[in-house]
Every structure is written in structure tokens, then in C-alpha cells.
């Protein structure tokens, strides 16, 4: 996958993305110039590109649905039309507690 800067003002953002990728240990990540861009993608033109050979494009809806299925199979409940107003850490309680709290995250809404 190439992320290409075609305007000079895009180069600092591309370099920042490169640095963030290095910090996150993205494998094979490198910056390439116009000649290498054209070698990889003959019809692509740019000033600088971020080459990420192990990055792919995913169908995020499918990824989210897979997470949702795993979450529900683990006993979780998914709410829609639920405007989140706050997320906070809770003190984890024992399995025999009245509220049955097993996970230390509380998600609140206006209700």
C-alpha cells in the first residue's frame, strides 16, 4: 500500500504518519521518492510516499461485526441508539456481588 503526498503541504503529515508507524513497529515501512513510486505503481505520481507493504485495506464493517459476534458469544450485550456520555473505570467486584460486575469499565448515557 502506498500513501502518496502529491502536494508539498502533505509531506509533513506523511512524515508524521511514518514516525507513528515506526513507533508502532509497522513492518517494512519506508518513505520513497518519485522514482520508486513510479516503479511500484506506474500510473501513480507523487512527491513522496509511505510504502507499507504489509498493510491492507479491510472492510471495517465486517471487522466490527466479527468483534460484535465475539463479544456477544462471550456474554456481552450490544446497545444501539445509546449516546455515550462517559466511560470510566470501576472497581472490579467479586462474582458474588449484587451488581454482578465482572469487568472494570462503566459506560454511561443520559438515562
Res. 84 pLDDT band, cuts 50 70 90: very high
Stronger pLDDT, 35 or 91, i.e. the higher one: 35
Residue 15 CB neighbours (<10 A): 14
pLDDT tens per residue, range 43-71: 999 999 999 999 878 899 999 999 999 99
Any residues with CB less than 8 A from the CB of 96 and at least 6 apart, and which?
none
pTM > 0.75:
no
What pLDDT is recorded for position 11? 97
pLDDT(97) > 60: no
CA-only gyration radius of the chain, Å: 22
Residue 32 CB neighbours (<10 A): 17
Instruction: Dihedral sign for Cα 105, 26, 5, 9, please.
Output: positive
Amino acid at each position: 500500500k502506498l500513501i502518496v503526498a502529491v502536494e508539498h503541504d502533505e509531506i509533513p503529515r506523511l512524515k508524521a504518519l511514518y514516525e507513528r508507524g515506526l513507533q508502532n513497529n509497522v513492518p517494512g515501512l519506508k518513505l520513497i521518492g518519485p522514482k520508486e513510486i513510479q516503479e511500484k505503481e506506474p500510473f501513480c505520481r507523487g512527491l513522496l510516499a509511505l510504502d507499507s507493504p504489509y498493510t491492507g485495506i479491510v472492510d471495517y464493517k465486517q471487522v466490527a461485526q466479527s468483534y460484535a459476534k465475539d463479544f456477544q458469544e462471550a456474554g456481552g450485550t450490544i446497545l444501539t441508539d445509546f449516546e455515550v456520555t462517559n466511560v470510566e473505570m470501576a472497581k472490579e467486584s467479586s462474582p458474588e456481588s449484587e451488581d454482578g460486575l465482572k469487568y472494570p469499565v462503566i459506560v454511561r448515557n443520559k438515562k
